[in-house]
Structures are given as C-alpha cells and as structure tokens.
Structure 1
Amino acid sequence: MVVPVDPTLEKPAVDAEWHRRLVYGDETALAEVYTAYGGLVRRVAVRVTRSPAAAEDVAQEVFAQLWSRPYAFDARRGSLRTWLSMLAHRRAVDWVRSEARHRKDARADDSALHTIPDAGPGPDETVVDRERSLLLHTALAELPQSQREVVHLAYFAGRTYRQAAVELGIPEGTAKTRLRSALRKLAESLADPPDPTLERGA
C-alpha cells in the first residue's frame, strides 16, 4: 500500500518510517517513495539537463543510491523530498558536465581531422542551452546551503516561500530574505562581464 503524501506540507514521520524500512531492505518502501517523488526527481533533472532521456537516467541513479545507501538520508535534518531534489540536481549537473566534456573532446578530434577551418553554422542551440544551464546550476551550487535549500524548494519543488519556511522550520521572513539574497547572488554570478573595449571608449 502506498503511503499518501500531503502535496503541501512534508510529513517527517512518514519520511522516518520510509527510511527505517529502506534500511531494513523493504522494497515496497522504495516503490512508495518512487511513486511519491519520482515525478519531482525527473522534473528537477529535466530542468538541468534539458533532456527527458537523461532525466530518466538521473532518476534511476537517485533511487538506486537511496536503495543502496538509505543511511545517507537523515530525516532529522530535512525532508526526503528536499534531499531527493538536491541529489537529483547534483546528479543532473554531473551529467551536463560530462556531456560538455564529451562534446569538447569530439570537437577537438574533429578539428584535428581538418586542415581547413570549417565555416559552417554556429554552435548548436541545444549545446548553448546546456552550457547556460550548467553556468546557472554551477552558480547555484556555490550558494550557502541555507540559501540553496530555499531556492530548491521554490524553483525545483514548486514551493512558495511560506511553504518553504514551514518545511525548513524557519520564519517566513527568513525564508523570503534567503530567497532574495540567493537570487541576487545568482544574478551577479551570471551577469556578463563588462566589455573592456567599451570601458576604454573604443
């Protein structure tokens, strides 16, 4: 039987019970967690990778880790929903970085085969999107954990800042302040550097 999950607020008792059963190797507990949070994990992964197929791979890795290392989750430190969301994010960023390395190596190999530069079209839009996504999520990973948690809940788990405050056990004003500070830092990290030629008045 699948344990019902309130879509608005987390239930620490349910998380703790799932965790206890997973530690004891209860496969039905894994199925229940997947039913409850599989969609969330895939959504987080798709936003980072821009690839449904990659998101499925990430989801498999996330739940495989939960099954093989359930003790890595501590119900006293936060909800299972948040933990799975952040794990999915890290796995997805790893996938994007791996893809970027493969593409870079492939371009290098292709360039070595041509003595005359190819004046073809510019970079593939998908590659550009993934590079932008990597920059965003790399900047997100550099935020303090307290701010990163609020951003994850607000933009990946679909929470309002009030719901995030309840889940994290902090005042609403604190959640709102952390979210604003995080967004400001992300904007500064992702801002284009000034053009030196313009600064020189060229």
Structure 2
Amino acid sequence: MDPSAWMERLQQGDREALEPLLAHYEGMLRYIVSGVLSDPHRQEDCLAEVRLKLWEKREQYDPERSSPATWLTVLCRNAAVDHLRSAQRHSAEALDETRPDPAPGPEEQLLRKERAERLERALASLSSRDRALFYRKYYYLQSTARIAAELGLTPRAVEGRLYRIRKGLQNKLGGDLL
C-alpha cells in the first residue's frame, strides 16, 4: 500500500494506518528531528509528539496541496522547532548572552549555499536510478537491506553501487563535501 492510501485511511479514523505510515517515513522523520535537536532523548520525545500530532491533525491533510511526505516533513520540522524553543526557554545556557552567536556569518552562509548548489548539480547529473538510490540511503536514511529488498538486489550489490556513486560524486566535486 502506498503512503497516500495510508493517509486516506488515517483521515477516515483508521488507527491501524498510523504504524505503516510512520514506519515508511521513519528514516526521514529521524533525519529531520536530528537536524534540529541534538539530544537523543529530546529527539525521541519529539518523534512521539509527531506521532500524536499526526493523529490529531490528520483531517488537516489535503492531498491536493501536498504529498504525505511533504506534509509530514512540515509537521515534523515544526514539532522539532517547538521542542528546541521549549528547551531554550528552560535552559540557563540560552540566557547566557556572553557566548558568541553560533549562527554562521554571511561568508559561511555563502559557502554553504555554493556547496549545496554544487552537490545538487552533481546529483542531477546521476542517472535517475543512481540518484534514487543515493537519496534513499543518505536523505531518507533507509537501511541497505530495505533498499536491496525493495529493488530486488542483494545488499552487497547496493553497497557496491553506493560506493561507485560516492566515488563519482567525489570526482565531480573534487573531493569536496563527501
């Protein structure tokens, strides 16, 4: 069953659609939360809250406006940012104004933007099959075994292809980024 069907069942009040939907997007959700929250305990709390919010806000999902992945990404990111704000309000460190601003300066922002653009161009030059494999492993954090099973490959074949993809990207990027 695809994520859109699970979302439809969820909107109709079917609690059993919650588990497969969350399992399908678990890697993506963990990736989003870990990018905002560094504490593993807060990450787990946030993921539990995402689960609750998904159920509570299921009727707000509009398949005409976004895909399940996009809607869950926004829901998850907002929950993570809310957790971060809450932690900062209650943290003595957040009140310490003597620390330097951790936000990157304009130069660092420009460098990051340029690196991201170079990486996007390099990824766009991959075949659609290699690009999908790369995204599944490194963006959605799917396990090699899961990717292999879904693509009808052996785990060693997936690992070999990922190795070749990484090496190709390193060559295109001059060793930068990876």
> TM-score scaled by structure 2?
0.51
1:91 aligns with 2:91: no
Determine if the alignment matches structure 1 residue 79 to structure 2 residue 79.
no
Mapping of residues 5-24 of structure 1, within 5 Å = 14-24=2-12
2:10–2:55 contact (8 Å) kept in structure 1: yes
Report the Cα distance in structure 2 between the residues aligned to 1:16 and 1:106, rounded to whole angstroms. Answer: 40
- Which residue of structure 2 aligns with residue 113 of structure 1? none
Give the match for residue 52 of structure 2: 64
Q: CA deviation at 1:56?
A: 1.2
Q: Deviations over 1:142-186 (max 9, x none)?
A: xxxxxxxxx9xx99xxxx6798xxxxxxxxxxxxxxxxxxxxxxx
In the alignment, residue 94 of structure 1 is paired with which amino acid? D
What are the Cα deviations for residues 45-98 of structure 1, in whole angstroms up to 9, with x where unaligned? 111111222111111111211112211211111211121112211111111111
Q: Which residue of 2 aligns with 1:29?
A: 17
Question: Which residue number in structure 1 is paired with residue 162 of structure 2?
Answer: none
Structure number with larger C-alpha Rg: 1
**Could you tell me whether the CA contact under 8 Å between 1:38 and 1:59 is conserved in 2?**
no
Kept after mapping to 2: 8 A contact 1:45/1:55: yes
Corresponding residue for 1:52? 40
What amino acid sits opposite 1:102 in the alignment?
H
* Amino acid in structure 1 at the alignment position of 2:74: M
Task: Please tell me the residue identity of whatever aligns with 2:71.
Answer: W
Q: CA deviation at 1:105?
A: 8.5
- In the TM superposition, 1:119-134 aligns within 5 A as 132=102
Q: CA deviation at 1:27?
A: 2.1
Preserved contact between residue 15 and residue 75 of structure 1 (Cα < 8 Å):
no
Partner of 1:41: 29
Equivalent pairs, count:
110
1-side partners of 2:18 and 2:91: how far apart? 35
CA deviation after TM superposition for structure 1 residue 28, in Å: 2.0
Superposition misfits of 4+ residues, deviation over 2 angstroms: 104-108, 160-163
Q: Residue 37 of structure 1: CA displacement?
A: 0.8
Identical columns (%): 30
Stretches of structure 2 lacking an aligned partner (at least 5 in a row)? 105-115, 129-178
Contact persistence 1:46–1:54 (CA under 8 A): no
Deviations along 1:6-63, whole A, 9 cap, x unmatched? xxxxxxxx34322221122212210110110122112111111112221111111112
Q: Cα 1:21–1:28, aligned 2, differ >3 Å: closer, same or farther?
A: same
What corresponds to 1:186 in structure 2? none
For structure 1, the 5+ residue unaligned runs are 4-13, 109-121, 137-150, 164-202
